[in-house]
């Protein structure tokens, strides 16, 4: 069964797929062990991993390589954040071929112009492409996929760009018309009101994807109550958790004058060996080192 099929089945059976951001094979493995339904190959997280802003600086090749490495170390379906599709519809055709081959289960393409600016930054430059142009990009993705279960998710940034709910609905409807499997609607308001209002007003058939980073009170229970939403993406919580933990431990080591105090508060080296599958290396050694 393809990963796209698995993700679709999961959404159908549970009603809401929980998709966790990952920026590395290790974070992918940890998300899988925690029990998430899928991975979000986040552009924001990978950019941050390289110490870069999420403004189309990380190349498609870099993102694709990381996704491939994640797919090798985790069996979870991966939702690839391919930003604007790296250019126009021609670039989208190339990207879809590559991402499907690399093992992605789904792509999210957003209706901003290339190069994009990260969505949640205050006063970010948020330019959208014309509706027709973006319809062409979605149509290009759909025409290129080989597996019919590979999900093409159209993301509208209308609300992020400060446009009206009406404009967001109009865009979502136009993207559904050309066949988008799902609609991701993003908002950076401090409360869920804007996005909840969009979901209530959405009359289309395509299920909705939400990324509640800016309004954390929109928890799974509240999302389920809205109906229509089949996927929630925890967009940047892997990299933020990593930053939190590293800042804390680094500061404590210097403050304590050594590693003696933090040692018991961080995972053991053995735990990292486990995550590296060191046991398999030992088995291989036993069998083949002669
Ligand atoms: C990402 O994680 O790269 C996203 C979500 O696209 S956000 O950063 O909130 O736009
Ligand atoms: Mg992104």
Confirm or reject: Cβ of 118 under 6 Å from ligand 1: yes
Domain with CATH 3.20.20.60 in the chain: 3-236
Please tell me the residue having the least CA distance from ligand 1 atom 7: 119
Three-class DSSP category at 245: helix
Give the count of beta carbons closer than 10 Å to the beta carbon of residue 234.
19
Give the mean pLDDT of the chain. Answer: 98
pTM of the model: 0.98
Backbone φ, ψ for residue 279 (5° rounding): -60, -35
DSSP type of residue 128: B
Closest ligand 1 atom to 119 CA: 10
Confirm or reject: Cβ of 119 under 6 Å from ligand 1: yes
Residue 170 is predicted with a pLDDT of 98
User: Ligand 2 center to residue 81 CA distance, Å?
Assistant: 6
Candidates 211, 215, 233: which one to mutate for ligand 1, based on the most atoms within 8 Å of Cβ?
Answer: 211
Backbone φ, ψ for residue 107 (5° rounding): -125, 150
Backbone φ, ψ for residue 161 (5° rounding): -80, 0
Please tell me the residue having the least CA distance from ligand 1 atom 8: 44
Q: Which ligand is nearest to the CA of 240?
A: 1
Confirm or reject: Cβ of 236 under 6 Å from ligand 1: yes
Q: How far is CA 259 from CA 104, 174, 254, 255, 265, in A?
A: 40, 57, 8, 10, 10
d(CA 38, CA 14) in angstroms, rounded, equals 13
d(CA 280, CA 224) in angstroms, rounded, equals 41
Residue 191 is predicted with a pLDDT of 98
pLDDT tens digits along 215-271? 999 999 999 999 999 999 999 999 999 999 999 999 999 999 999 999 999 999 999
Please tell me the residue having the least CA distance from ligand 1 atom 5: 235
Residue 249 is predicted with a pLDDT of 98
User: Ligand 1 center to residue 143 CA distance, Å?
Assistant: 25
DSSP per position, 61-77: HHHHHHHHHHHHH--S-
Confirm or reject: Cβ of 42 under 6 Å from ligand 1: yes
d(CA 197, CA 192) in angstroms, rounded, equals 8
For the annotated catalytic residues, the residue numbers are 54
Query: Is the CATH number of domain 3-236 3.20.20.60?
Result: yes
**Residues of the chain where predicted confidence (pLDDT) is lower than 70:** none
User: Ligand 2 center to residue 227 CA distance, Å?
Assistant: 24
């Amino acid at each position: 069964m393809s990963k796209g099929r698995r993700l679709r089945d999961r959404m159908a059976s549970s009603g809401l797929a929980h998709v966790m951001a990952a920026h590395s094979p290790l974070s992918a493995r940890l998300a899988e062990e925690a029990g998430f339904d899928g991975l979000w190959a986040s552009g924001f997280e990978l950019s941050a991993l390289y110490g870069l802003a999420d403004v189309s600086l990380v190349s498609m090749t870099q993102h694709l390589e990381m996704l491939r490495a994640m797919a090798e170390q985790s069996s979870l379906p991966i939702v690839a954040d391919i930003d604007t599709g790296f250019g126009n519809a021609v670039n989208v055709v190339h990207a879809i071929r590559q991402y499907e081959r690399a093992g992605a289960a789904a792509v999210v393409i957003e209706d901003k112009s290339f190069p994009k600016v990260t969505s949640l930054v205050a006063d970010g430059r948020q330019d959208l492409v014309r509706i027709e142009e973006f319809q062409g990009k979605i149509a290009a993705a759909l025409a290129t996929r080989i597996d019919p279960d590979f999900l093409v998710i159209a993301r509208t940034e209308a609300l992020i760009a400060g446009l009206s709910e009406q404009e967001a609905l109009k865009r979502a409807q136009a993207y559904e018309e050309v066949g988008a499997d799902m609609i991701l609607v993003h908002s950076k308001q401090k409360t869920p009101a804007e996005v909840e209002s969009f979901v209530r007003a959405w009359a289309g058939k395509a299920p909705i994807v939400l990324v509640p980073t800016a309004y954390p009170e929109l928890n799974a229970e509240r999302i389920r109550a809205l109906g229509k939403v089949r996927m929630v993406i925890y967009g940047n919580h892997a990299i933020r958790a990593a930053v939190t933990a590293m800042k804390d431990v680094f500061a404590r080591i210097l403050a304590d004058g050594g590693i003696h105090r933090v040692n018991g508060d961080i995972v053991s080296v053995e735990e990292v060996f486990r995550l590296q599958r060191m046991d398999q290396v030992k088995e291989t050694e036993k069998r083949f080192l002669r």
